[in-house]
Amino acid sequence: MLSRTEHRGVCSLLSSVMSGTEAHADRQEDYRFLHSMLMEKKLHLLFKIHERLKRFEKRGPIPARDQASTLVPNLVDELSNYSTVQGEELLSLLCEPHFKSLLWVHDAVAQHQFEPQLPPLPENILEESDDSVKIVSLVKSAEPLGATIRRDCSTGAILVARILKGGAADKSGLIHQGDELREVNGVSLDHKTPQEILPLLASSQREVKLKVIPADVHTEQAANRKHELFVRALLDYDPEKDPCVPCREVALTFRRGDVLQVLSKEDDTWWQARHHGDHDSWAGLIPSEQLHQRRLALQQPQALFPSGCLQPPEDDEVEEDVDYGAISGVRVAGQRRSFRLGRRGGHGTDPRRRRAAGLEGLTRAPAYLEVVPFRRGPKDRPRLVLLVGSPGVGVSELQRRLLVSDPEQYGVTVPYTSRMTRIKEQNGVDYYFVSQRQFEEDILNHRFIEYGMYRGHYYGTSLDSVAEVMAEGKMCLVNLHPAAIKSVYTSEFRPYVVFVRPPRLEELRFTRRRAKFICPPEEGSGQARTFSEEDFEDMIVSAEDMETEHSHMFDKVVVNGDLTTAFRELRAALEQASGPNLQWLPAEWGPAEWVQGPPAEARGSQDHVAGWR
Ligand SMILES: Nc1ncnc2c1ncn2[C@@H]1O[C@H](COP(=O)(O)OP(=O)(O)OP(=O)(O)O)[C@@H](O)[C@H]1O
């Protein structure tokens, strides 16, 4: 109950509230309602309870110490020295289990140990949290929804690629570029391609219900991922052999091809990194790219070479024309021996010319290539396979074996030529026969990966024929000079580059003792002949040059010593490259927006999936 004074105080306060509101109450009944409510006894009691609680809160008990139980052993020791009745009684009290429990509870409360222990938050809370998911319902009208979608290659997520201004999605203001789509009308989009999603959107009658993870959540995740910098090592590094490493014990050993996660680039000279997937270990020191380049520069004081040393070949030459069907008994369209352009003398790679010009090792190959993770979806086109190697090393032989081993999995392009059709040759099977004018137009339109001229006729490998093979779902094998890799080194083709390296000289002599190759026409009218010592030397020097200049683009190096072993290794690597396992693609390719369909289509439209309807 309120004391008299308190009651009076509350009453006078409420009366003054009433007199203050009187002027503003329009109707009598409003005033009476307010009066009865404010003068209600229960309300006054609530005021009183509130005040008492407030006072109690201020005087709340504070424990004198939060570990009272630790005093007991000392006290028991002391009391054992006094043999008084009170002392003994206190001693037996202190030793009582109930009393001990009481002190234990006291300590627990004093230390606030009564609060529940929550389990740790799962790591993927951001991805799974319901808070980050929103349900959007768009009402369909005759007009298209006005957005495009794409599949993020590294995560497999379906993202809104573009919102068209003024379209239904734009007007709704509910969907934004970068939003991730999880469901359409209750159907999960997991493992679905944009092509499979379009019919889902189109089949919705009056409204489309979307489960969406907003872009800001994504940008946050992307920002987190941005800190994850991965590089592929392009050289072997052994700190034991590096006299400059500041602290050998904390330096990281790695091999060419290893994927490293760079954790710090703060120091210009020594970065901190660890092997990908090795989350338990500490970061180790690795030489920075700048340091690597400085070291290369010191090794190459003659780097300022005179211009004009590298003269373009007079005529990019094509060697043709032995059909493998005749050799292997398996006829494979487009498989032409030595259809590698500018092999000899082309691209400034003739080892003798380079050595004479003092150009060896002038290229400053990078130490690392920035890479991003990629998992091939079930409906993704296979990667383009580029096979490169020095003349005669066995690229065509390995390619032929791949084609014979699995014609469903591997395919080759049909080359283009401007020469006349010969008897028994079929257009689109042996070659695509086009006019010289057409060929030159295609050159100007950059439609060839490689092209060259032989005896007054053009020959070339066109992007369209690569697209054709890829559209069949086959891994397209292209045998080319490494200088031409750049023309297809894009997210459109995602090339997997295999470098076929010759073995050491002794093994080369031993393994090729019975091998014959078709020598270039200028040397022997296209006749088959055995390898000479000079051929072996050329092969090795040319391979070294290729590696120095282009190895940063090689995904796999296969040493072609024993042919069976080399073939087995190549095939295993290509199976990896065509599977759903984790692969690493150059970061410069950026996110690939296409999923299916020939590259020609992809070139036409970046988003490759048109507007939703
Ligand atoms: N590992 C090997 N052991 C023995 N012989 C081999 C091996 N690899 C290739 N050969 C043989 O060497 C010869 C040349 O090989 P291939 O035609 O494949 O060379 P290439 O790399 O395509 O060069 P080019 O384009 O100059 O012809 C062929 O007779 C081939 O059978």
Compute φ and ψ for 115, nearest 5 degrees.
-70, 140
Q: pLDDT at position 341, please?
A: 44
Taking only the tens place, the pLDDT of each residue in 192-220 is 888 888 888 777 777 788 888 887 665 65
Q: What kind of fold does domain 229-299 have according to CATH?
A: SH3 type barrels. (2.30.30)
Higher-confidence position of 361 and 529: 529
**CATH code for the structural domain at 134-219:** 2.30.42.10
Rounded mean pLDDT, 253-264:
91
Helix residue spans in 406-554 (DSSP H)? 436-444, 463-471, 505-511, 521-524, 533-550
* 382: alpha, beta or left? (left if phi > 0; alpha if psi -120 to 50): beta
Q: Is 502 in the pocket of ligand 1 (CB under 6 A)?
A: no
Distance 517 CA to ligand 1 centre (A): 7
Q: pLDDT at position 345, please?
A: 39
pLDDT band at 526 (very low <50, low <70, confident <90, very high): low
- Helix (H) / strand (E) element for 34: namely helix 28-38
Q: What kind of fold does domain 325-589 have according to CATH?
A: Rossmann fold (3.40.50)
CA angle centred on 462, ends 599 and 418, rounded to 5°: 150
Rounded CA-CA distance 123/98 in Å is 43
Q: pLDDT at position 411, please?
A: 94
Compute φ and ψ for 212, nearest 5 degrees.
-130, 140
- The residue contributing the CA closest to ligand 1 atom 10 is 394
Distance 261 CA to ligand 1 centre (A): 39
Whether residue 301 is predicted with pLDDT greater than 70 in this model: the reply is: no
Percent of residues, the chain, with pLDDT higher than 70: 74
Q: Are 222 and 246 in contact (CB under 8 A)?
A: no
Percent of residues, the chain, with pLDDT higher than 90: 29
Q: Is 538 in the pocket of ligand 1 (CB under 6 A)?
A: no
What is the reported pTM?
A: 0.58
Distance 456 CA to ligand 1 centre (A): 27
Whether residue 298 is predicted with pLDDT greater than 90 in this model: the reply is: no
Higher-confidence position of 521 and 431: 431
Q: Is 338 in the pocket of ligand 1 (CB under 6 A)?
A: yes
Rounded CA-CA distance 160/214 in Å is 10
Q: pLDDT at position 306, please?
A: 39
Rounded CA-CA distance 271/265 in Å is 5
Of 197-201, 404-408, 465-469, minimum mean pLDDT range: 197-201
Rounded mean pLDDT, 67-87:
85
Q: Which residues contact 591 (CB under 8 A, 6 or more apart)?
A: 150, 152, 153, 154, 491
Q: Is 517 in the pocket of ligand 1 (CB under 6 A)?
A: yes
CA 127 to chain centre: 18
The full set of domain ranges for the chain reads: 1-8+30-59, 62-116, 134-219, 229-299, 325-589
What rounded mean pLDDT belongs to the chain?
Answer: 77
Q: Which residue has the tokens 């093979």?
A: 469
Q: Is 563 in the pocket of ligand 1 (CB under 6 A)?
A: yes
Compute φ and ψ for 542, nearest 5 degrees.
-65, -40
Q: pLDDT at position 516, please?
A: 81
Of 437-441, 489-493, 564-568, minimum mean pLDDT range: 489-493
The amino acid that residue 424 corresponds to is: K
Whether residue 606 is predicted with pLDDT greater than 90 in this model: the reply is: no
Higher-confidence position of 416 and 82: 416
Whether residue 24 is predicted with pLDDT greater than 80 in this model: the reply is: no
User: What is the number of residues in the chain?
Assistant: 613
Distance 560 CA to ligand 1 centre (A): 9
Of 193-197, 254-258, 334-338, 570-574, minimum mean pLDDT range: 334-338
Q: Is 337 in the pocket of ligand 1 (CB under 6 A)?
A: yes
